[in-house]
Amino acid sequence: MMKLILKTTCLLIGLALSPLSQAVDKALLIGVSDYKSSAISDLPGITLDLDMMYLTAQRLGFARQNIKRLEDAKSSHANIKKMITGWLSHNVNKDDRVLIYYSGHGSQIPDANNDESDGMDEVLVSYDADIVQGEDYSSLKNVVVDDELYQWLAKIPSERIYFYVDACNSGTAYKSINLGGKNGNNSLNLKEKAQVKFLDYPKMLKIRHKENKGMAKDLSKSLPNVMFLSAAKDTEFALATPKGSVFTLGLDSIIESALIKNEKLTPKMLHSRITTFVEEKIQSEKMQGKVHHPQLTAGNTLKNENIFPRAVTDNTTQVARRVGKEDFDRVLAAGINLDISSKKTTLKLKDVLKFKIDIPKEGWYLNIVYVGTDGARTVLFPNKLENDNQVKKGIVTIPGKKMPFDIRASRPIGPSYVYAFLTEHKLNFYQDSIDGFDKDGKKNAFLSGVSAQATRGLEITSRYYAGTITINVK
């Protein structure tokens, strides 16, 4: 193993493990990217959203066999209803947890039963949704309406229902934005080709006069057993990108980080951290448009209860720490060879490691990751002092002049690995990590861990260089 010495400070990573009690927790993950109707615009990155939430559910203690995934054609209105009122409701008691996640378009339709103060019902847009043309205004069919969703959830006997919605339900933010269908221009031309997760259909009624919490308020007002965390305020829009939706990227990183650190994480804490994450992500990527603010609605008990109510197991910990050697080896194999070398690759305890990387391209972006014998992953470059990872062609030495640390061999003995990735597309593993933020959302840690976004960012990059060296400690 190698030890990173920051002047006189050592970086140590540990986890406390204990058995998991038995439970019949269930999770339903719903995502729609490729809509059936040509009039409804598709969304990027939804498959990645579902991949992230599949792992997130496992981190939260949900067994794989109790996680169901509905994607695209499987996410029809009838199938969503069947899974919530059937599978999710059966064989579940009050002590079991239920997780529901949705990523796709949100929208509004005219209120059919006059229970909405603004005259509009909030909806989740199912795969088979379609526009119903009217003489004066249009509506949608085959969508999940907040009123019926309320009825479905009321049938679930669990006292802990966690509902995450990565969509937006407001039409007020789109009056000046032209959103077309599959052949139209539904992109806001954001830097990461982000798209709004709201379906603004022709002749849609837009009569909202004041902001409210929309679906969140409707679902939770009489259901104290439901925690509802959504991506945006009623007057804002959530964003989907090819790397995954911004809100879901935050869920993934924050929950992963809390589990690895064995930290308590309540919905209230999650809401605070994901609000900071979304703001930092959108501003760091220089996306055009407003930052959207996640909204939390829940009873006091659920709001302040640890979302990790049961102890962490070895298997759950491995899920949380999945971004490791095997993941980097996979993306390494797909990259163009990057020359990385060291004069000494076999070290005794306390020996110092130094290595060089031959950069073949001017102005590309370099990320260097250290994977220890124990599997801990640390971003060596960029870091707090050298946050700009756009590099010049030539030799880069690590540690460099601006890096006030040594990498020293330490116990346990065995192999450690250094990976270097050079991309034409901007990737910054240090900024993408959720680790090291202070209460004001500023990145103050010198080094950070590697978030799950690292390999995903590499996998969607069309061209990159990659290299590695193995360091043996004896």
Residue type, 68: K
pLDDT tens, residue by residue, 211-266: 544 555 555 456 889 999 999 887 778 888 887 899 999 998 899 888 877 889 99
**Is pLDDT of 372 > 50?**
yes
Residue 104 near residue 41 (C-beta atoms within 8 A): no
Residue 427's pLDDT band (boundaries 50, 70, 90)? confident
CA angle, corner 186, sides to 135 and 134, nearest 5? 10
**Is pLDDT of 19 > 70?**
no
Mean pLDDT of 69-78: 96
Mean pLDDT of 294-322: 71
Query: Domains in the chain, please, with CATH?
Result: 2-12+321-473 (2.60.40.1930), 26-310 (3.40.50.1460)
3-state SS, residue 409: strand
pLDDT tens, residue by residue, 122-152: 899 999 999 988 877 888 999 999 889 989 9
Q: Which residue has the tokens 């030495």?
A: 397
Looking at residue 380, its pLDDT comes to: 87
Return the H-helix or E-strand segment holding 275: helix 267-284
List alpha helices for 285-381, DSSP H: 300-303, 314-320, 325-334
Residue 424's nearest CA partner among 380, 474, 361 is: 361
Residue 240's nearest CA partner among 31, 425, 40 is: 31
| Token pair recorded at residue 412 | 């346990």
Looking at residue 18, its pLDDT comes to: 31
Phi and psi, residue 65, nearest 5°: -70, -10
Q: Which residue has the tokens 């065995």?
A: 414
pLDDT above 90 coverage of the chain, percent? 38
